[in-house]
Chain A
Amino acid sequence: MSAAAAVNVENLTIAFGAFKAVDDISFCVEAGEIFGFLGANGAGKTTCIRAICGLLSPTAGKITVAGRNVADDLLAIKALVGYMSQRFTLYPDLTVRENIAFAGALRKMPARKILARAKELFRFTGFDYPQDTLVQNLPGGVKQEVALCASLLHDPAIIFLDEPTAGVSPAPRARFWNLIKQLSTAGKTVFVTTHYMDEAEQCGRVSLMQTGRIAALDTPQNLKTANFPHPLYEISPSTAAAPGFAAALAASGAGAVRPWGLRYHLEEQNADLWRKFSAERAGQFSQRRITPTLEDVFLKLVGGSAA
């Protein structure tokens, strides 16, 4: 465990009956980094984040946040962190102002400070609806912005965002990530879960989750270079050649083939066989050398669809 660790998780297991939602995982989040949890629904991301925030008790293992043990020092940790659930947690029948005031009051913030801080956060996120709007009358993405502001109100040192951009359209999604980066620049630790690959690319380090376990954990760049030491090609077969093409390519022994929409990604493992296949099938397909993305890594390690 590093001295500067914001979050340290050791052998965490969370079981619901016989089902292990989180299965003996260990990791460490450094202070000031953007740490991403990438995984399909049901991979255990939310369960893990809830345990770290003290919202459910682990079956086994030890969690420390800012050097304090969650099991012993929960209230102090709750005062220190900000948490935004993937569920919508604001009160729809209260106005934006009332929701923010309530969130601040729970944090024992003086009214004046709440106002100043809310103004700052709203300017930051570009929120420009009247603050007397009932939350139920806001569009979905805007509601999420208000929820984010509510969880950042007390200027927490460690911020947990559970799928903050689920269902949010591209423009506000970009704004969200600008905000997350600014928080990180300001020295805050951001722990974010997502199943968007482009979002995971922006994290300092990413943990790939699969059925309660960590399949891989590193910087996005390291994940790519470590998992794709060989060249990667994108292959588009012509319409006429498409039937049976993938099977033939896989059988050629040139490398590992993974479907990519209507195209295929070929991870070259035997350059000679690949040249031979290309010569035999000349004119039946087009190819280009590509650099691997996190999605390639994800599909290779976890398999199936990320979303």
Chain B
Amino acid sequence: MNFNAARALAIALKEMRHILRDPFTLALGLGLPLLLLLMFGFIIDLNYGDIGLKVQDQDHTRFSREFARTFSSSGYFRLEPFSSEIAPVSWLDSEKASGVLVIKENFGRYIKSGRQGGAQLLLDGADNSKTGVVLSYLAGIMDAANRKFAQTPPRNSPEIRTRFLFNQELNSRWFIVPALATVIIGLLGVLLTAMTVAREWENGSMELLLSTPVSPLEIVAGKLLPYFALSLTGTVTVYIAARLVFGVPFNGSQIVYWTACSVFITAALAQGLLISVVARQQRLAMQLSMISGLLPAFLLSGFIFPVESMPVFFRYFTMILSPRWFMEISRGVFLKGAGFMELIRPLSALLAINAVLITLAVKKFKTDIEP
């Protein structure tokens, strides 16, 4: 296939003019990434502190008070005692509390005699995410309580001391924001280019293009270039916002990060172009790009559900999706400071996806006018 750089540049220049004259594309490329990052960055917060916990103490002993204090001293719970006339479940029904702790009569005696079941914790199973967090805190609290009440400290019992590396405070924003950048670039890139070829088919200009000796490769290259510049600018904005607004630390190498970004942006743009080339109608292209951009980026990238815990089919399926690989890179570089060597697998995967998408877009490019 012939390739003339001057012709590809002429197409790039023309495409740049379309972008600059279309406020919608500009807003999509520059405004939307920032908007999404700020919205999601503030909304998605997986840290729960200050959980309201209603406590009914029916025992009124030193033990029961000591037990309740274990909860409050963990720092995660705010205890609100209530009298025994009220049914414990009503607090959950009215959603006035996230959990209810009932310490039964004879709790103290149970402890002294070593029996179990002196207290009950009621949680709202409908709010799965919050309950999960409470349960994870509970393990630590029970541990502390056991140590407190044990008459003879257990000897030689194995103990695990957990230390969180890379994100010592387990700050969920640090974890989410770099990942969110992946979602935003992945979705945006596909949306931006999905219209470009379809638009030329719909408004008839493709006929002029194809009546000249221009080749599909030149068209594809010429269309990738300006949208790459636009997406990269959007990505830089997201990066700056992640650092400044959310204070996400960046432990890696800028060169590694931006190289990977460039490869990922190209993959997303190529995916949009392929859709545009195949669909040849703007509306169809828009729908296809929403589905093929949004779903992999949000659900199959490891953003919400870790890839490792997906069913086997999806674990392999995600391998052909670029967001999954860039998610690995983005989190790795931001928090762990991973370099080229550690990222060789996801980087090679992204490059391979790029090669396949661009080749397909060129090969599938119809040079026939009629269907």
Residues of A bordering B, CB below 8 Å: 16, 47, 50, 53, 55-57, 75, 78-79, 81, 83, 85, 87-94, 98, 101-103, 105-108, 150-151
- The distance from the CB of B207 to the nearest CB of chain A, in whole angstroms, is 5
In the complex, what residue of chain A is closest to B212 when comparing beta carbons?
A: A106
Q: Are A106 and B209 in touch, CB under 8 angstroms? A: yes
In the complex, what residue of chain A is closest to B218 when comparing beta carbons?
A: A106
- Decide yes or no: A83 and B211 within 8 Å by CB, A16-B370, A105-B10 being known contacts: yes
- B210's contact among A55, A57, A87, A150, by CB below 8 Å, is which? A55
In the complex, what residue of chain B is closest to A83 when comparing beta carbons?
A: B211
The complex places the Cα of A98 from the Cα of B18 at a distance, in Å, of 11
Q: List chain A residues, Cβ under 8 A from B371.
A: 16
Q: Using a Cβ–Cβ cut-off of 8 Å, how many residues does chain B contribute to the interface with A?
A: 28
Q: Are B6 and A105 in touch, CB under 8 angstroms? A: yes
The complex places the Cα of A57 from the Cα of B214 at a distance, in Å, of 17
In the complex, what residue of chain B is closest to A162 when comparing beta carbons?
A: B207
- The distance from the CB of B365 to the nearest CB of chain A, in whole angstroms, is 14
Residues of B bordering A, CB below 8 Å: 2, 4, 6-7, 10-11, 13-14, 17-18, 21-22, 203-205, 207-214, 367-371
Which of A16, A89, A106: most chain B Cβ within 10 A? A106
In the complex, what residue of chain B is closest to A17 when comparing beta carbons?
A: B371
Which of B208, B213, B367: most chain A Cβ within 10 A? B208
- B369's contact among A50, A75, A88, A151, by CB below 8 Å, is which? A50
Q: Are B207 and A102 in touch, CB under 8 angstroms? A: no
The complex places the Cα of A91 from the Cα of B203 at a distance, in Å, of 8
Q: Are A91 and B207 in touch, CB under 8 angstroms? A: no
23 contacts between A and B (CB under 8 A): A47-B370, A53-B211, A55-B368, A56-B369, A75-B213, A78-B213, A81-B211, A83-B208, A85-B204, A88-B203, A89-B205, A89-B207, A90-B205, A92-B203, A93-B21, A102-B10, A102-B13, A102-B14, A103-B208, A103-B212, A106-B213, A108-B4, A151-B211
Q: Are B6 and A87 in touch, CB under 8 angstroms? A: no
Q: Are B369 and A55 in touch, CB under 8 angstroms? A: yes
- The distance from the CB of B2 to the nearest CB of chain A, in whole angstroms, is 7
The complex places the Cα of A270 from the Cα of B52 at a distance, in Å, of 110
Q: Are A78 and B370 in touch, CB under 8 angstroms? A: no
With A87-B204, A106-B212 given, name 6 new contacts (CB 8 A): A56-B369, A83-B207, A93-B17, A105-B7, A106-B209, A151-B211
